[in-house]
Amino acid sequence: MQLVVDALLRVLDDLGPTAPDHAYLDHPAWMSVLHAANAALQILSPDKENS
């Protein structure tokens, strides 16, 4: 989870908390936020094969 927070804070540090949504999504580091969030989701999600 810390990786997600760190990636998001990098974007927020550049743009601030009041930038329009598209500015965050277009930021070069936004892909890092998505990758970190996906990795966290994979870790925290129950194993589908054992369902």
Q: 50 pLDDT exceeds 80?
A: no
Distance CA 44, CA 41 (A): 5
Read off the pLDDT band of 49 (50, 70, 90): low
What's the helix, strand, coil split of the chain in %, to 5?
75, 0, 25
Reported pTM: 0.76
pLDDT tens, position by position, 2-45: 999 999 999 999 999 899 999 999 999 999 999 999 999 999 99
∠ CA(48), CA(36), CA(33), 5° rounding?
Answer: 130
Distance CA 13, CA 39 (A): 22
Read off the pLDDT band of 1 (50, 70, 90): confident
Q: Which of the 8 DSSP states describes residue 2?
A: H
